[in-house]
Amino acid sequence: MSTASPVKTTAVSAQGVWKAYGSGEAQVVALRDVSVEFSSGAFTAIMGPSGSGKSTLMHCLAGLDTTDRGTVAIGGTTITGLGDKALTKLRRDKIGFIFQQFNLLPTLTAEENITLPAAIAGTKADPEWLRRIIDVLNLRDRLGHKPTELSGGQQQRVACARALASRPEVVFADEPTGNLDTRSSAEVLRFLRTSVDDFGQTIVMVTHDPNAAAYADRVVFLADGQIVDDLPAPTADAVIDKMRGFEKLAYDLGGIA
């Protein structure tokens, strides 16, 4: 008797998304008719040269920025056109964020930073779930420390715990290892990988680092605001090869300068 493989659902999607900044001759088109889907329970990296639109895409996907054209959906909810109140609630309930700069409040302890989003929402995180992620992140003996008493790697692990505390539908990570040394970077990336494999979490990560991208299940490549390639089961060497071929690839796909 065969067992059917679980069907992957779409956690986040963009359809025909355009985004420009400025106007007239000074206008910069950051995204050009981007359509992409990100599966639930998967770890996807977004890569591209500086100015390719990768951070803009993530900000639009996460509802941190608006689109000029096209639609963005998280789970079954189309977020394009949502009012501020509905968008704030959706981000609070369904999205976790990890930023390069950690974004911890300096006056709060690690534990208070982790539970802050739930406190603001007037809810309480599941204590068993919190215990689990705190132990996986090896933060048990750091919960009473304030950010200035923590290393950069420890601060980012606190930020990871905060992002997962509400069990969001998707976690967006924007260059999460950009301010970390090699060892701390590996610790954070292993946790993101574990959160997908063991917790069923969905991760979408912007990175410029081929070694970081190699932790993902898939890499989506952008150049000049367009998706130009999609690499499953990436290795660092394969990512480097793709990055080297961007200029020719972009030209072949549309004559992009």
What confidence score (pLDDT) does residue 36 get?
A: 97
CB 213 within 8 A of CB 203: no
List the beta bridge partners of residue 202. none
| Residues counted in the chain | 257
pLDDT of residue 257: 37
The structure tokens 């090699």 sit at 182
Domain ranges of the chain: 10-252
pLDDT at 120: 86
Strand 77-78 with 226-232, pairing: unpaired
**Residue spans of alpha helices (H) in 122-223:** 127-136, 152-164, 182-197, 210-213
- Mean pLDDT for back-to-back runs of 10 residues, the chain (257 residues): 59 97 90 97 94 94 95 93 90 92 95 92 89 95 97 96 94 94 95 96 96 97 93 96 72 48
Q: Which residue has the tokens 């300096």?
A: 106
pLDDT of 255: 45
H/E run at residue 232: strand 226-232
What does DSSP assign to residue 72? E
Class of 10-252 per CATH? alpha beta
Distance CA(254)–CA(226), nearest Å, equals 10
Distance CA(19)–CA(42), nearest Å, equals: 26
Q: Tell me how far apart the alpha carbons of residues 192 and 194 are, in angstroms, rounded to a whole number.
A: 5
Please list, in sequence order, all residues whose beta carbon lies within 8 angstroms of the beta carbon of residue 138, skipping any fewer than 6 positions away: 157
User: What order do you get walking across the sheet with 95-99 strand by strand?
Assistant: 95-99, 170-174, 203-206, 43-47, 218-223, 226-232
Chain-centroid distance of CA 174 in Å reads 6
DSSP state of 65: S
Q: Which residues contact 26 (CB under 8 A, 6 or more apart)?
A: none
pLDDT at 2: 42
Phi, psi of 49 (to 5 degrees): -60, 165
The pLDDT score that the predictor gives to residue 51 is: 87
pTM value?
Answer: 0.90
Query: In the numeric block, which tokens belong to residue 248?
Result: 């020719």
- C-alpha distances (whole Å) from 138 to each of 147, 161, 164, 218 are 16, 10, 15, 27
